[in-house]
Chain A
């Protein structure tokens, strides 16, 4: 009676553990709707169990479930990243959800469900696993964006996300179908083995193109970025924080696995297309970021721009680029979670307190919070000694090494442009007078934000702490 070999179960232990805990949390929600703390603790335990299992099998590099799931190294690093993001999101959103009058505990269950999807994406050795992980994550995000169902903005955001997301899924699937049809397999390694010949078939090239559309949509890259600002602005801030960090990291992990590692993209046409996507995202994101007055919407455009920076790493198609993306995702996740954490603390229950005007004078009213938010803005701009600078350095270096110098130059120029709108927030906080109501700052959120800030500072000064681990995975 050996239906599933033990090695497979051990390989998938992290995902299975998170899955079991999330189902347990869901059961508690169903029978004891008021037991919010119990659900919260169960969800945190689930994430912790996942981190332990993923850390335990980190050194072994193998596959499980007939090559469908990757185990160890890359997959586990990303699993840990997703679960850390999930934990920080849950800690930051507990007081926020309470304040906004949302008193249901499914939120924590949904965070874990989405984390399972992300972990599958980061561990996908097969296009089917990638597709399923992507859908588990996306369907959960559609629900989460609409969690505040009495609010029209939340409804609107989730419907837009849903329609456009499902539309992109159609393209992604068509791409998978054509690649399967022309190679006879959905396994990424076996597809890569047929690399140069398979590209002689037009259908195969079309398949990659359609797959690229689907993934570019999920990372929010130009020209498939139209949904990002609306969805990020309308969704509950805690969900936006989770989508923009975890969702983006998961989509990029799948991007690396599908496009970069199988070397399918050493086809020069693919490099050109990816470079154009990267350039377009950087220009569009930073250009529209300039005119924003709402912090949430500004961070949405900033996330388009950052997708552009990370696409440089995909376009350069080298291990340096992949390592750069991985490091960048860690620093971006910490920075954005921190920035959204500050927004969550200052947002009022009517959804106010997110415009620059309302941040005026924050430097005097809440000096600690203003200092932390400034750090996050500096890191997003890419000013040393914060992690954002190191991440950009690695990405631009990978572009130069792969002969895409123009892309690195464009990256530097657009980063310079972005300085204007990131520092504008800092200017408002310190050099403008303003008065807004004084929200009480929950200690747990403050601790989580301070932890993120400490993270980007430490990674900015000593990037080798995590970069050595990343280098060992590729």
Chain B
């Protein structure tokens, strides 16, 4: 059996990739994909813990996370489209009317 630490390290790695993606990429859609990667890394942690603890709470939470991620995707893409209609760009560096 694969020990718990392997799962935790893999999900920590994926989470870090997501954080890095948010920090360095400038395309709003890629940033959003990186955020989804972070959420899925957390899902992996939850499932690993849930399986090793023999407790269903973690798996239940994963379903909630997936629902929330879907809702966020719907809203987020709508926001990006609304912005694109007005500005013809999805580059977050060009969002500079309001000072960062």
Contacts and interface: CB of A to CB of B under 8 A. Distances in A.
B53 interface: yes
B87 A176 contact: no
A57 B98 CA distance: 45
Contact of B99 (A132, A143, A180, A230): A230
Contact of A131 (B49, B64, B95): B64
A160 B82 CA distance: 13
Interface string A223-241: 0001001100110000000
Contacts of B98: 153, 156-157, 160, 229-230, 233-234
A143 B39 contact: no
B42 A170 contact: yes
Contacts of B92: 159, 163
B35 A167 contact: yes
Interface string A111-145: 00000000000000000100110010001001100
A159 B97 contact: no
Contacts of A143: 75, 78-79
Contact of A159 (B15, B28, B61, B68): B28
B10 interface: no
Contacts of B83: 152, 155-156, 159
A4 interface: no
Interface stretch (A181-189, A394-402, A419-427): A181-189
A149 interface: yes
Contacts of A128: 57, 60-61, 64
A136 to B, nearest CB: 9
A110 B82 CA distance: 18
A207 to B, nearest CB: 10
Contact of B71 (A135, A167, A176): A135
Interface string B38-60: 11011001101100010101101
B57 to A, nearest CB: 6
**Majority SS at the chain A contact face:** helix
A152 B79 contact: no
B75 A170 contact: no
Most buried by B among A128, A143, A162, A203: A162
Contacts of B68: 131-132, 135, 139, 169
Contacts of A393: none
A181 B42 contact: no
A166 interface: yes
Interface residues of A, number: 41
B95 A149 contact: no
Given A131-B64, A142-B79, A166 B97 contact: no
Interface string B55-97: 1011011001100100110011011101101110000100101
Given A132-B64, A152-B97, A181 B35 contact: no
A159 B31 CA distance: 11
A163 B73 CA distance: 11
A184 B32 contact: no
Contacts of A471: none
A371 interface: no
A158 B79 contact: yes
Contacts of B18: 170
A139 B95 contact: no
Interface of A: 128, 131-132, 135, 139, 142-143, 146, 149-153, 155-160, 162-163, 166-167, 169-170, 173-174, 176-178, 180-181, 184-186, 203, 226, 229-230, 233-234
Interface of B: 8, 15, 18-19, 22, 28, 31-32, 35, 38-39, 41-42, 45-46, 48-49, 53, 55, 57-58, 60-61, 64-65, 68, 71-72, 75-76, 78-80, 82-83, 85-87, 92, 95, 97-100
Given A146-B79, A156-B98, 17 more contacts: A132-B64, A139-B71, A139-B75, A142-B72, A143-B75, A149-B82, A152-B83, A153-B98, A160-B98, A163-B22, A166-B72, A169-B68, A170-B35, A170-B42, A174-B41, A178-B45, A234-B98
15 contacts: A139-B75, A149-B82, A155-B79, A155-B86, A156-B83, A158-B79, A159-B92, A163-B22, A163-B28, A166-B76, A169-B35, A169-B68, A181-B48, A229-B99, A230-B100
